[in-house]
Every structure is written in C-alpha cells, then in structure tokens.
Structure 1
C-alpha cells in the first residue's frame, strides 16, 4: 500500500486517479505515525521547489523522510526535493541524492517551461522501468531540471541539454515527468513502483 506524502504542494488528483484506475491501494501521510501504515511512499509536488520545501518543513516530516528505508518515489517537484539544492528560491532541499536542481536558460528555440512529451532514455536496468520500451515518451511540465550525474541517473532526456529524467539512490527514486499523465507506460511505471 502506498502512502502519499500530503504537505500542500499541489494538486494530487491526477495521481490518485491513476492509482485508482490501476487498483493500487493508497492513503495520505500527514504526520510521522502515518509512515508506519504503508510499505512504500510517493512524494508528489508541482510548482515552486523552495515553497514546497518550506511547506514540507512545516509538517515536521523532513527528518522522517530522510531516514526512510522503504521504496520512495518523488514525482516532478517531489523528485527535485530529493536533491541537495534548487536554484528556485535558492533553497536547500532534502539532500538525499547529492545533485542540484537548476533552471533552464530561455532561448528562442527552447521555451521555458518545458512542456510536452519527451523521449526518455534508460541508462541502466532497474525494476522501475521494467516492461517499458527503450526511448518511450513521457509527459513533462517544468522550468527546472536535475543536473545530469551518471552515478544517480536511471534515465535521461534532452531539452536544450541532457538532464536526468529519473534518479535513484538506494530506496529513493525520482521522476521529473508525470507518470500519471503519461498514458499506458506511465501507468506501467506506477505499477512497477508498487511492486519494488
């Protein structure tokens, strides 16, 4: 059963709808004791990483998240929260995966935010991407990206530069794209996570 960390950082309706369609049981985590009710966790998030981190700190859940031993998936801003620092709000984050979140540079060719379907290239075998074809397209909406670091990158993509579309360290996973809005293979990824 999946516990969704509920800290007021965006609309989680699409995620809950996807889990409902897949028949994956879930509930909300709002206080430390709630972590014991679930065997894996999702940290969702949309919007501003600095503001999201401030909201997460207000919940008192930060120290508990940093010590989690069960599979944990960050989605979009939730993935960015796993990193050490974001240029968005010059914010220190959870520092679970020691990479940085940086802003795309505006250009005539590459508009910010990056919105739409992008081909995601798996860089190593991992159960999270099982039964997902190579170079599948996933749906992105973001102005900030995770710097590419081979040691922590599960999958990469390109939008003006190469960056990490998915990261991994121990029991922590992150995806910059929205699996809940990425069709059948996004749902495959959520199903995979529910079995890790």
Structure 2
C-alpha cells in the first residue's frame, strides 16, 4: 500500500486529488497539508511512514523543494512527484536536484497523474538519467545567476535604488526626476548606471531584475 502525502495550498484542488488517490487501488492518502509547516507535522505523525508525496512548489511559507529534500533524507525510499502551476524550468530543476522523481503541470490529465504515481509505486523512473543530469546542471546555473544578481544589486547606490523604486511605482522619467529633485538628464544618467550594474538592456528588464533581488517592491506596496 502506497501511503501518500498531498501538499497543496489550494484546498479544493488538494481534496479532489485525495478523492482520486483514495479511489485508486494500492494507494491511501495518509496526510494532507497546505503549508510546509503542516506537511512537516503530517510527515512526523505518519505511521507507518509515507512512501509517496504529491507536492506543489509554491507554498505560502516556502518552497516545496525544501520539503522534498527533507523527506528524502529522512527516508531515501520516499518518492516525490511535483505537481505545480509553475512553468519556471529553474524551479523544476531545483525540485529534481532535491530529489523529485518527476514534475507535472497542474493542467495534466488525471490519468497522467495517476499513471506517474503507479510507475513510482513499482519503482519505475519517470525521468532518464540524462534528463536528471540536465536538470541538476540547470539548477546549478540558476543558483549562480541568482548569486551574480545579488552581487550586482549590492553595487547599486541608495540614489539608484530610489530611482528604481519610483520606476516600480509607474513613474515616468520626468516624474522620477521631479520626485527626487533632480534634472531629467541626471535621472537618465542614474538609469544608465543601473542598467550597466544589473546587466539589463531596458528599464523593464532592470525593474524585473531589481524585484528578483529584493531591491524594489513592485506596485510601491
């Protein structure tokens, strides 16, 4: 009997999955959770221990990849299937690096989800060694890119951060200049410096990179 942990913050979707697995021979839903904290608690309570997890990545209190790594270290026989709405391959790669056996999008057909679970239950691999290797390389590149972005963002001056925050609030270059009591030419000079430091090719790209680095709050909130 496969004892399944469902980790998904949308309760209706999670409960629908629970019905599917409980109706499937050889599977039993042993725990449900909507957050990492709840999932950790459910995993500790489960007796006998869990053998399969269907886990979302974007949870209210963190990344589901963390949980996959923890559960796999505690029980190397535990198999994790990621079921996510994210299309970010770097996120998928981090999950595989943490030990996920496969990644499915939430738009997958019910039969596809159950088939993946059945294959894991009998010890089949959902991904080839080559696919796993490529995912792990991608995860490494993603971490390196994030490290470089943080280093580049750390080079921004307080004034450049103010310019970026004003840009995040939707202000034009003239409005930014007025708010920060500078000339439009000075604002443009700051923006050129920002683009160079972040390695961006446009104001929009600079804004996205700054948001990823935690330099600005999009929407000004």
TM-score (norm 2): 0.37
Higher alpha-carbon Rg: 2
Q: Which protein has the bigger helix share?
A: 2
TM-score (norm 1): 0.40
Higher RCO (C-alpha 8 Å, min separation 6)? 1
